[in-house]
Structures are given as C-alpha cells and as structure tokens.
Structure 1
Amino acid sequence: MAAMSDQITKLTAALVESERKRVAEQQSMSETIQQIKEQVMNLARRPTTSAPDDTDDKSDEDNYVDLHSLV
C-alpha cells in the first residue's frame, strides 16, 4: 500500500507542477498579448508618413516629357 500511496503523492505533485506551469505560461501569454495590443495602438496613433498629396489640378501627364515634342 505504501508504494501506491507514494505513486499517488508523486502523481499529485506532478499534476500540481504541471498546472503551475500552465498558469505561468497563460500569464506570460496574456502579458505578451497586452504588449502587442499596446504596440498596435501606438502605431495606430502615430501620424502616417505618406507621399505628399498630389493636389494640383494638372494631370499626371504634365509630369512626363513628351518625346515627340523634343523632335
């Protein structure tokens, strides 16, 4: 009977340790997710650096040289 009791004690300890690790991993994952959310929110708040707005009324063709006009 003592051997079975020892086994139960060892298995219980292993189960407790396994649960402790699972909870620790879950906590770590939650912290990582929170950090990622904060980084995404910071990126969303940042002003975007895009190309200057082409708001003049000229058509895009004005930006190119017409090769036929050079001849």
Structure 2
Amino acid sequence: MSIQIAKLIAALAESERRRVAEQESMSETVQQIKEQVMNLTRRPTTSAPDDTDDESDEDDYVDLTP
C-alpha cells in the first residue's frame, strides 16, 4: 500500500511540475505577443499602393459567383 502511495505522490509531483512549466511557457508566450502588438501599434501605417495600371477599375474586383 505504501508503494502505491509513493507512486501517487511522485505522479502528483510530476504533474504539478509539468503544470508550472506549462504556465511559465504560456506566460512567456503572452508577453511576446504583447510586445509584438505594441510594436505593431508603434509602426507607421502605409497606404495601399496606387492603382497604376491604365486598365479599367472593373478588373480590380472579382465578380460574384452565380
């Protein structure tokens, strides 16, 4: 019986270790995403390139499918 208890305690400790490691990894990922979002908000915006082809504007749109 005590061997089973020891195995359960070891499994519980391993499970907790994995949970903590996963939480730390997720926290790092969230921090990286926050930094990327902040960098995006600081970046100057650019407009779409000018439509320089001398073709009709109709070719710039896709027709609806029947």
TM-score (norm 1): 0.66
User: Unaligned 5+ residue runs, structure 2?
Assistant: 50-66
Count of matched residue pairs: 50
What is aligned with 1:9? 6
Identical counterparts, % of pairs: 84
> Which of 19, 27, 31 lines up with 2:28 in the alignment?
31
Distance 1:30 1:38 in 2: 12
Q: Which has the higher helix share?
A: 1
Runs of 4+ displaced beyond 6 Å: none
Distance 1:39 1:45 in 2: 10
- Residue type of the alignment partner of 1:48: T
Q: Which moved more, 1:42-51 or 1:14-23?
A: 42-51
User: Unaligned 5+ residue runs, structure 1?
Assistant: 53-71
- Residue type of the alignment partner of 1:20: R
User: RMSD across aligned C-alpha pairs, in angstroms?
Assistant: 1.6
Whichever of the two has the greater Rg, that structure is: 1
